[in-house]
Amino acid sequence: METIAFIRKHIYFLFLFTFVVLAGCNKQNNLSQSTQPQGIKVLTLSDNNYSIELYTANGKLQTGYNEITLWVKDKNGKVVIPDSITWNPMMHMMNMSHSCPASAISLQSSATGIYAGYIVFQMASDSMNYWQLAIVLKKQNMIDTLTGVVKVLPSPLQVVQTFRGADSNKYVVAYAGPANPKIGINTMSAVLYQMISMSDFIPVHHYKILIDPRMPDMGNHGSPNNTPFVEGTDGLYRGQLNLTMSGFWRINLQVLDSAGNILAGQPINEQNTSSSLYFEIQF
């Protein structure tokens, strides 16, 4: 009886275990290339051994949050799964350079060899300044670094903001979704990073983001029952965004630390029609 109870209790783990084992076996086999990364190819990085293809939903990289899928191919064009893969975007300006917030690159499916992650570009490329993306692969103790210049277009709307909080720390907040807002109730997500140094950004935990969506063209009409954003298990901050109509919305933000102190942003009232911290959406 006890055994049955044990199995019952842990059956999911058993399944997971089996899956992991099978997936591990699969690694040795040829990967199916029938499933492509979603979206449109935006960039290919290559060296003598590998090429890496990066995809985004619209085939562009823009300021703000960019969800990227990618895969790695060897010189025969076969999709491979390296032992480890990391990326490092760098902005090169005239006499300085800095990085930006980026997630780890995680394998979505070992069957297809497709990886996913996101990068938050705070600024766009221009004639003087450019973004360089370096991706480091490790396979069988061989390290390959593939680099390339990426073109980051300016987003037409404000979707990312860098600010100094009341605690004197520097932060980056970016709109992560929904990509296509709709009338009514939306689940909105954002990422929040602290800038430790020019090249070091770390996600912040247990903060809270208050939102107040408004329509500046409509006498700053707002919507009720929006919920503050709290951190999910995946590190994204999520909350309920209510949009009473389509059009142009400014989502005013206030960032609170884990103790509830307001670090940045102001509440909206008769006198103050906009927070210094906000996103814009248009649909």
Partner 1 sequence: MNTKMIMKILVLCICNMCLFQKLHAQLSDSLPSVQLNEVTIVSKQSLGERMKKPLSNVDEYLNRLPNVQMIRRGAYAWEPFVNGLSMERSDITIDGMHIFGACTDKMDPVTSYVELMNLKKIRVSNGQMGSAYGPTLAGTMNLELQQPNFGEKKMKGISFAGYETNNRQKIVGSGIDYTSPKAAILANITFRNASDYHAGGGKQIAHSQFTKYNASIYGRFKWDDQHQLQFNWIYDHADHVGYPALPMDVKLARAMIFSAGYISYHPWKGIHQWQTKLYYNDVKHIMDDIDRSNLDMHMTMPGWTHTAGFISQIMHIEGVHHWNIQANGYFNQSLAEMIMYSDSSGGNNMFMLMWPGVNIYNMDVFVQDSLLLNKNWYISFSGGITAQHQQVYDSRGFSELRIFYPNAKKSQMRWLKRGNITFNDVHEDWQIALNAGYGERAPSISEAYGIYLFNSFDKYDYIGNPFLKNERSINLFLNAQYRTKRLSFEWQMGLQKIKNYIIGLMDTTLTPMSKYAAGVRVYHQLPHATIWNSSASANVYITDEWIWNLSLSFSRGTSKAIGNLPFQQPLSYTSGISFFKNGYQVDLTAIGANRLRYFNKQYGETPVPAYIILNLSGSKEFHLQQHRCVLKLGIENILDRRYTTFANWDRIPQMGRNIFFNLIYYYSD
For binding to partner 1 (CB under 8 A), which residues are involved? Answer: 156, 182-185, 214-215, 217-225, 242-248, 282-283
CB of 230 to partner 1, least distance (A): 17
Nearer to partner 1, 165 or 181 (CB): 181
Q: How far is the CB of 186 from partner 1 (least distance, A)?
A: 9
Q: How far is the CB of 255 from partner 1 (least distance, A)?
A: 23
Closer Cβ to partner 1, 219 or 260, answer by number: 219
**Judged by CB, which is closer to partner 1: 86, or 158?**
158
**Min dist. Cβ of residue 182 to partner 1 (A):** 7
Element housing 184 (H / E)? strand 184-197
Q: Cα-flanking dihedrals φ and ψ of residue 180, to 5°?
A: -125, 90
Find the DSSP H helices in the chain: 2-26
Nearer to partner 1, 264 or 281 (CB): 281
Q: How many residues are recorded in the chain?
A: 283
| Cis ω before 156 (30° cut-off from 0) | no
Token pair listed for 20:
């992991």
Which amino acid belongs to residue 276? S
Q: What is the 3-state secondary structure (H, E, C) of 97-123?
A: EECCCECCCEEEECCCCEEEEEEEECC
For residue 193, the Cα-to-chain-centroid distance in whole angstroms is 11
Q: From the CB of 31, what's the least distance to partner 1, in Å? A: 39
User: CB-wise, 33 or 187, nearer to partner 1?
Assistant: 187
Chain-centre distance of CA 146, in angstroms? Answer: 21
